[in-house]
Structure 1
Amino acid sequence: MTVDQLLLSIPPLAVYLVVALVISLESMGVPLPGEVTLVAAALLSAHHELDVSPLWVAVAGAAGAIMGDSIGYGIGHHFGQRLLVWLRRRFPRHFGAKEIAYAEAVFARHGMWAVFFGRFVALLRIFAGPLSGVLRLPYHRFLPANAFGGILWAFGTTYGVYLLGTVAEHWLKTFAWAGLAAFLVGGLLASTLLGRRVRRAVDHFAEHHPEAVAAVEAQG
């Protein structure tokens, strides 16, 4: 079976459900590749032999982001700091003391704006819902920022990749998939570079605010 035949066998509904599920779980605080999943689905929608709609990919991404963040908010609001302690033990690479201290400082200072812009930053994206609940950000302020951020991120990413993929398919013809793969690699590279920038910001914060990191470590 060729790659094209394999892709043609994937039901569009399955693509939408996977996008919504992965992004929803990531938004709840589970470190999954939500952005990569959205980009991959958008690339599928750019291949016109498939029946995957970019509109429904974007809708699934936005719905997953909004629902996942809201569920994460509820969990964080209910369990409070105990949730962060559990996440530190379960996912130490993503929820270390430095990362939690940095995220707490960002969300405490910027509130709903951190929720909105955090959707576009991998580290903050998995913190947005749970940490907003832990910090008791009022839900009537959290929800609009969550919704607008999720919609803009999902639709902007999907249609940006879709348009680039359509151009690649048109110009590269038989090498279309090579072009689409190049766009995917480029997106992953940009995401990696942004992640490294955030990591440097976390390290800088920990260096200048050791008391905040120590406070998180003291919680258990």
Structure 2
Amino acid sequence: MQAWLSEVPAFVVYLAVFFLIGGQFLCLPLPGGVVLTTAGLLAVQGTVSPVVVSAVAAAGVLAGSAAGYRLGARGGRAVLARLVARFPRVLPEKRVVATERLFERWGAWVVVVSCFSAVLRMIAAPLAGTLGVPVRRFAAAITVSAVAWAFGTTLGIYYVGQAAEQWINGLSLVGLAMLVVVALASVPSWFRRRAES
């Protein structure tokens, strides 16, 4: 990781996490997943707290999703109708109908899964508002998703990074050289097995 990233004050990292993730859930093409991953790696270095990063990321998801849902509920139908009329090949009416059916049946589950997909992050909240997913169901689903995604991603990166750092620090140069030799020696047999199957 770049040395300058380690020198960024923690509050700047927290603000970036909140606003970039919130913006992505508000239908803006922002790199929310990349920001969360970077913040998790900064937590491994001790620059930020992994728990605070997780909480701020979850808050960003909830704020961005609430705004996206509200925008969709207020003007989403009109925007959707204009998009269908303007881009009928890209967004045919039958696709809109299929999406409406999907949200009628699985709307809350689509919202729960949304955090784990870069594309769904941008469109799930406005679509849920546009297609009339009940507010309480939406709020419960996005809360579960936000907490699972933010804490799972950040703490997963943090603990894996900590374990990898300890493992690498525990290796001697001789042990590392032996590991490289064993890995290189196993490459031909791996290719042979692959060719046989």
Q: What TM-score, normalized by structure 1, do the two folds share?
A: 0.67
Aligned pairs for 1:137-216 (under 5 A) are: 137-173=133-169
Q: Which runs of 5+ in 1 are unaligned?
A: 175-220
Partner in structure 1 of residue 176 of structure 2: none
Instruction: Name the amino acid aligned to 1:142.
Output: F
Partner in structure 1 of residue 127 of structure 2: 131
Q: Secondary structure at the match of 2:132?
A: coil
Aligned pairs for 1:9-48 (under 5 A) are: 9-48=7-46
Q: Secondary structure at the match of 1:10?
A: coil
User: C-alpha distance in 1, partners of 2:119/2:2?
Assistant: 33
Deviation at residue 103 of structure 1 after TM alignment: 4.9
Instruction: Name the amino acid aligned to 1:97.
Output: L
How far does the alpha carbon of each residue in 1:49-86 deviate from its partner, in whole angstroms, 9 at most, with x for none?
x2x00011101110000110010000000002233467
Q: Secondary structure at the match of 2:116?
A: coil
Aligned pairs for 1:46-61 (under 5 A) are: 46-48=44-46, 50=47, 52-61=48-57
User: Which sits farther off after the overlay, 32-41 or 163-172?
Assistant: 163-172
Instruction: Name the amino acid aligned to 1:69.
Output: S
Count residues in correspondence.
Answer: 165
Q: Which runs of 5+ in 2 are unaligned?
A: 171-197
1:110 aligns with 2:106: yes
The 1:138–1:164 alpha-carbon spacing in structure 2 relative to 1, beyond 3 Å, is same
Paired residues of 1:103 and 1:127 also in contact (CA < 8 A): no
User: C-alpha distance in 1, partners of 2:20/2:81?
Assistant: 23
Instruction: Name the amino acid aligned to 2:23.
Output: L
User: C-alpha distance in 1, partners of 2:162/2:27?
Assistant: 33
Partner in structure 2 of residue 97 of structure 1: 91
Paired residues of 2:103 and 2:110 also in contact (CA < 8 A): yes
Instruction: Name the amino acid aligned to 1:11.
Output: P
Deviation at residue 34 of structure 1 after TM alignment: 0.8
Partner in structure 1 of residue 61 of structure 2: 65
User: C-alpha distance in 1, partners of 2:82/2:164?
Assistant: 45
How far does the alpha carbon of each residue in 1:131-180 deviate from its partner, in whole angstroms, 9 at most, with x for none?
01001111011101111111111000000011111122222249xxxxxx
User: C-alpha distance in 1, partners of 2:82/2:5?
Assistant: 39
User: C-alpha distance in 1, partners of 2:11/2:83?
Assistant: 32
User: C-alpha distance in 1, partners of 2:67/2:27?
Assistant: 10
Q: What TM-score, normalized by structure 2, do the two folds share?
A: 0.74
